[in-house]
Amino acid sequence: MNLLDQFFILIAVALLSITVLRNFRINDKMAPLWYGLMVVMLVRMAAVAYDGATLTSAFNIEILGFNMHWQFNALSWFFAIITVVAALASAIFMSGDWGRQYRELYEGQGGNYGLLQLALILNVASMLLLLASGDLLSLFIGWEFVSWASFLMMVLMPSKTAKKAAVKYVVYAMFGAMALLAALAIIYSNSVSFSGSLEFEQITQVFAGMDKGPQFSLALLFFIAFAIKMGLLPFHLWQAVAYAETPGPGAAFLGAISSRMGLFAMIIVIIQFIGLGHLQGMSIGLPFINMQTLLAWIAALTTIIPTYIALQQHDAKRLLAWHGVGQGGYMLLGLIMFDSIGSAGGLMHVLNHASYQAALFLTVVAVVYRTGTSDLNKLGGLVTQMPLSFLVMLIGIIGLAGLPPMNGFVSKWMVYRSLLLNGEPLLFVAAVLGTLGTILSVYKLIHNTFLGQLRVEHQNIREVPWSMMVPMLGLSAIVFITGFMPGLILPWIASVQETIGLPVIIHHLGGIEYAKGGLDMIWVSGILFYGFGVGALIFYFLGSKAKRVHQYDNYAGGHFLSADVKYHYSNNFYPGLMHLIGDWYRGSFKWMEQVIVSALSFVSKLFENMYRSRQPVMLLVIVVVVALFSIYKNTAGVSS
């Protein structure tokens, strides 16, 4: 029984315990413990992360002649540690006062706290199952589990929007699962090179033996299946609303890692097994656009468009969720470059994004906990009331915006560096556009929540309790430390790169080494903090002390401000930009989504009507006619 088996047993026990105890108070204290134990287990497996070894579970199943087995390598470990830490943070967050409030508020209306705990552990378990999958079939099974577990999490919020969003998600997810199944079917049915197993390596063989056309459709099917989970560009519409409407810490967990499962699968299938050569070999119509360019552009557009949609949101959770969609683009963009720096950046961004996204989501949930709203137009000036939450959000947004010295900067720097080295100016500009849009929108987030005019109804609120504060602070510490010393993470990244067969990055504690301009975050942060230090010296030692004033003591063109004046600028925060781009993307994407939604509802109505139709005989007749026709058609084809 190796470590992986023990790990699985631990998960199973945790699952069982939480399932049984979910409606008891003791579970609140137990749940974080289980996740803590999982972290410990993963740390014990650190050899996987540093040496690039593979742990294979003794447990396997034989179905229909296919062997399903599970294994852990550096890649799985890397994603697993992020998953478990995010779950740990969420679990601690909801174990205390938050859970109490949730019970009080929603227990009567269909919300169920025990179910939330269950959903969390189910999500973790299914994700770990997926991460450990050793062949395509177990990947598919894990994939299905993950989809349904997420769905369970999403429907927990007793609100119509949440239900609607969750159903929308399920429709998308089913579509993705169908695509994955279809891809499996193609591999299975490709009799030429199929050797009777669904091991991952099989893909490479099958792929190599195919013509261009089927190759393309196989790649496309895989891509669609994973892109839907990841929320890549044409399939980005479901994710944000669904995540935003998930109950508090659940949203943090989902937003941090859930959609990265798509990336995980994409790394295995498209990066590891299909590989650069095939991708470049597949050209679509035009000679200079190959699959790699296409994927890169999808990734780049995914960074831009959801980011600018986020800019328009006035609900804090939705804003963050949209950013979650957008940041996925950076990861794929880095990976699709297939070089050491870019792919390292892409991989590292998974961790970085998870850390600050969870921190930010938890902060927003903390604000909601105190104020009862996440509407950015109904907040403001909370910094004096909730200074630590402000600090966490500040660190989070610096990370999200990718500014030094937080970890977001490191991974984005690597992606940029790689784009520079590969000579991709337009992708580079696209990535920068995404970053700039992020800066704009995160400033809006922090300004509208924590800065500006404090509303009367919020004048007596307090900082959130420590049970919520600790995970927030812990996550922000990760954001800062991995930014200051990315070398702590980079060995894992290097072994992941080794595992999936990409060039390996040369790293040290402060960052990466590269002949023509590397990055040393210890120096960069050092210089920055030196600058801040000098700035603080100048500020505090020169000039007299400053007097704190009330917010009515403010310049209003000589006018007297009074309590009934709404003096906080929050709505439509970037009007200039919106005059330029607002109509365009508002119109086009609304239109697109409407098309999808109405097409789906049309199809579902169609089937519904068929089933409910009064004359089942007619249906039978139609089926028979169609069947006969197709048989005739086929036989005719054979005979001729």
Partner 1 sequence: MKKELLIKEKQAKRTNPLAHVFDDFIDFCQSKSLFMLHYCTGCGAIELPPAMTSRFDMERLGIQPMVTPRQADILLVTGYVSVKTLKRVILTYEQMQAPKYVIGICSCTVNGGMYWQSYATAKKLNDYMPVDVYIAGCMPRPEAVLEGLQRLKENIKNDRKQQKGSAWKEYFANYDTYLGNQQHLFGDDWQTPVDIIAEAKLYGLEGEGTYGKNTEKLAKVQQPLLPQEMKL
Partner 2 sequence: MNGLHILSELLLMPLIAFVVGLMMVLMMRKISARIQRRIGPPFFQPIYDIVKLYGKDTQISHGLIHDIGIIMAVGGYIGAEILLPVPGMEGIADKGGIITLSYFLMIPSLGMALGVGQCANPNGSIGISRALTSMLAYDVPFIIVVFGAAWHYQSTSLVGMIEYQQMNSWGIVEMPFLATAGLFALQGMLGKQPFEIYIAPAEIATGPMVEMSGKYMGGLFVMQTFQLYTAGVLYASLFLGGGESWLSLLPKAFLVVAIPMSIAFMFPRYKTEDVIRILWKWPVMLALIGLAFIL
Partner 3 sequence: MRPENYQAVQLGESNEYEIFIGPNHPGIEGNYALKLVLDGDIVVKGTTDAGYLHRGFEKLMEGRLWIQNLAIVPRICVPDPAPMEVSYSLAVEEIMGIEAPIRAQWIRVMQLELSRVAAHLFTFGGHAATTGMYTPMYWGVADRDLVLDLFEDFTGGRVYSIYNIPGGVRRELPNGFLEKLSNLLDYLESRQNDYDNLLFTNQIFVQRAKGVGILSKEDALDYGVTGPNLRACGLAFDVRRDDPYLVYDQLDFDIPTQQAGDAWARILVRRDELFQSIRILRQVIEKLPTIKGPIRTPIPNPLSWNVRAGEAYARVESSKGELAYYVVSDGGDKPYRVHVRGPSSMHAVQTLEYLAKGARLEDVAQIMFSLDACPPEVDR
Which residues sit at the interface with partner 3, rule CB under 8 A?
A: 377, 455-457, 459, 552, 556-560, 562-573, 575-576, 578
Residue 383: C-alpha distances to residues 235, 318, 393, 397, 567 (Å): 37, 21, 10, 15, 17
Task: Using the minimum distance from each CB to partner 2, give the nearer residue, 134 or 381.
Answer: 381
Which member of 174, 501, 513, 569 binds partner 2 (CB under 8 A)?
A: 569
Smallest distance from partner 3 to CB 582, Å: 10
Q: 405 preceded by cis ω (within 30°)?
A: yes
Residue 53 binding partner per list partner 2, partner 3, partner 1, none, with a CB distance cut-off of 5 to 8 Å that depends on partner kind: none
Task: Using the minimum distance from each CB to partner 3, give the nearer residue, 288 or 560.
Answer: 560
Residue 455 binding partner per list partner 2, partner 3, partner 1, none, with a CB distance cut-off of 5 to 8 Å that depends on partner kind: partner 3
Which member of 32, 306, 404, 434 binds partner 2 (CB under 8 A)?
A: 404
Residue 328 binding partner per list partner 1, partner 3, partner 2, none, with a CB distance cut-off of 5 to 8 Å that depends on partner kind: none
Q: Please name the residue that has the structure tokens 């609303």.
A: 241
Q: Where are the alpha helices (DSSP H) in 259-406?
A: 260-266, 275-281, 291-310, 316-336, 340-371, 387-401
Q: How far apart are CA 408 and CA 252, in angstroms?
A: 17
Answer whether 149's CB lies under 8 Å from 119's CB: yes
Give me 264's structure tokens: 């995980």
Q: How far apart are CA 365 and CA 249, in angstroms?
A: 7
Task: Using the minimum distance from each CB to partner 1, give the nearer residue, 163 or 455.
Answer: 455
- Amino acid at position 177, single letter: A
Smallest distance from partner 2 to CB 315, Å: 19
Residue ranges of E strands in 35-153: 55-63, 66-72
Q: How far apart are CA 169 and CA 593, in angstroms?
A: 13
Task: Using the minimum distance from each CB to partner 3, give the nearer residue, 70 or 573.
Answer: 573
Partners of residue 70 on adjacent β-strands: 133
Smallest distance from partner 2 to CB 246, Å: 29
Is residue 458 classed as helix, strand or coil in its secondary structure? helix
Interaction of residue 416 with partner 2, rule CB under 8 A: yes
- How deeply is 104 buried, as exposed, middle or buried, from its count of CB atoms within 10 A (0-12, 13-18, 19+)? exposed
Q: How far apart are CA 296 and CA 336, in angstroms?
A: 6
Interaction of residue 134 with partner 2, rule CB under 8 A: no
Q: How far apart are CA 490 and CA 611, in angstroms?
A: 56
Smallest distance from partner 1 to CB 550, Å: 4
- Report the candidate in 117, 113, 92 with the shortest Cα–Cα distance to residue 39: 92
Q: How far apart are CA 171 and CA 180, in angstroms?
A: 14
Which member of 381, 396, 471, 486 binds partner 2 (CB under 8 A)?
A: 381
Smallest distance from partner 3 to CB 437, Å: 18
Interaction of residue 183 with partner 2, rule CB under 8 A: no
Task: Using the minimum distance from each CB to partner 1, give the nearer residue, 547 or 614.
Answer: 547
SS (H, E, C) 256-283: HHHCHHHHHHHHHHHHHHHHHHHHHHCE
Smallest distance from partner 1 to CB 362, Å: 18
Contact footprint for partner 1 (CB under 8 A): 381, 383-385, 387-388, 454, 459, 462-463, 544-545, 547-555, 558-561
Quote the Cα angle for 413-302-201, to 5°: 85
Answer whether 327's CB lies under 8 Å from 334's CB: no
Binding string, residues 517-546; x marks residues near partner 2 by CB under 8 A: x-xx--xx--xx-xxxxxxx-xx--xxx-x
Residue 463 binding partner per list partner 3, partner 1, partner 2, none, with a CB distance cut-off of 5 to 8 Å that depends on partner kind: partner 1
Residue 462 binding partner per list partner 3, partner 1, partner 2, none, with a CB distance cut-off of 5 to 8 Å that depends on partner kind: partner 1
Looking at the chain, how many residues does it have? 640
Task: Using the minimum distance from each CB to partner 2, give the nearer residue, 21 or 522.
Answer: 522
Q: Are strands 66-72 and 507-508 parallel, antiparallel or unpaired?
A: unpaired
Q: How far apart are CA 455 and CA 83, in angstroms?
A: 37
Task: Using the minimum distance from each CB to partner 3, give the nearer residue, 541 or 560.
Answer: 560
Which member of 102, 113, 235, 409 binds partner 2 (CB under 8 A)?
A: 409
Smallest distance from partner 2 to CB 392, Å: 14
Residue 380: C-alpha distances to residues 252, 449, 549 (Å): 22, 5, 17
Task: Using the minimum distance from each CB to partner 1, give the nearer residue, 451 or 528.
Answer: 451
Which member of 209, 234, 501, 575 binds partner 2 (CB under 8 A)?
A: 575
Smallest distance from partner 2 to CB 403, Å: 6
Residue 402 binding partner per list partner 2, partner 1, partner 3, none, with a CB distance cut-off of 5 to 8 Å that depends on partner kind: partner 2
Half-sphere exposure of 553 (CA within 13 A, CB side): 4
Rule CB under 8 A: which of 421-440 touch partner 2? 423, 425, 428-429, 432-433, 436-437, 439-440
Which member of 160, 462, 579, 612 binds partner 2 (CB under 8 A)?
A: 579
Residue 388 binding partner per list partner 3, partner 2, partner 1, none, with a CB distance cut-off of 5 to 8 Å that depends on partner kind: partner 1
Q: How far apart are CA 305 and CA 586, in angstroms?
A: 11
Q: Are strands 507-508 and 511-512 parallel, antiparallel or unpaired?
A: antiparallel
Give me 125's structure tokens: 């378990």
Residue 423 binding partner per list partner 2, partner 1, partner 3, none, with a CB distance cut-off of 5 to 8 Å that depends on partner kind: partner 2
Residue 398 binding partner per list partner 1, partner 3, partner 2, none, with a CB distance cut-off of 5 to 8 Å that depends on partner kind: partner 2
